[in-house]
Amino acid sequence: MTKVLKISKAGKSITSAEPRDFIFNSEFPSTLKIVKENKGTLTISASTYNTAEISHDLDYVPVAMIFVECNPGSGKYYCGIAKLPSGDTDRKSYVDSNEANTYVTDEKLYIRIVNTQASEITVKYYYYLFGETAEY
């Protein structure tokens, strides 16, 4: 048996087949859509960090998904926010997972990347911003 979660709008029936009658209905496809995406590079001095400050002007706080090429030139991108695991000597950089350093607001996305190397590096990143596009 498949479990279903439904939250109907006030005055609407939970048995309705009309998508606009619901605040949430797990039977319908997700209403979160990619509203913005882009890529960039960030140059980081030796053994320090730098922050990409990206304006999105959505006037709300979107959901963000970040991909970073932690080893410049490798072609391998890491998704999300994660500290460098103990003993991981392969990655030359990582995204700072402290919520005070990597976060999104109703105007900007901030991505702080830490360079673990003794020389300057330039890191590639790309991101997707997701938002609610349904009309009520």
Check pLDDT > 60 for residue 134: no
Single-letter residue type at 105: T
Least confident of 7-11, 77-81, 96-100, 124-128: 77-81
Contacts of 5 by beta carbon, 8 Å cutoff, 6+ apart: 24, 25, 26
Give the residue, 87 or 67, on which the prediction is more confident: 67
Alpha-carbon gap, residue 106 to 20, rounded angstroms: 26
pTM of the complete model: 0.71
Render 16-68 in DSSP notation, one character per residue: ---GGGEEEETTSPP-EEEEEEEEEEEEE-TTSEEEEEEE---SS--EEEEEE
Specify whether domain 32-132 bears CATH 2.60.40. yes
Is residue 114 within 8 Å of residue 92, measured between CB atoms?
no
Neighbours of 5 (CB within 10 A): 8
Q: Which of 32, 99, 35, 103 is nearest to 66 (CA)?
A: 103
- Residue 80's pLDDT is what? 62
Alpha-carbon gap, residue 42 to 25, rounded angstroms: 40
Domain locations along the chain? 1-28, 32-132
What is the average per-residue pLDDT within 95-116?
Answer: 90
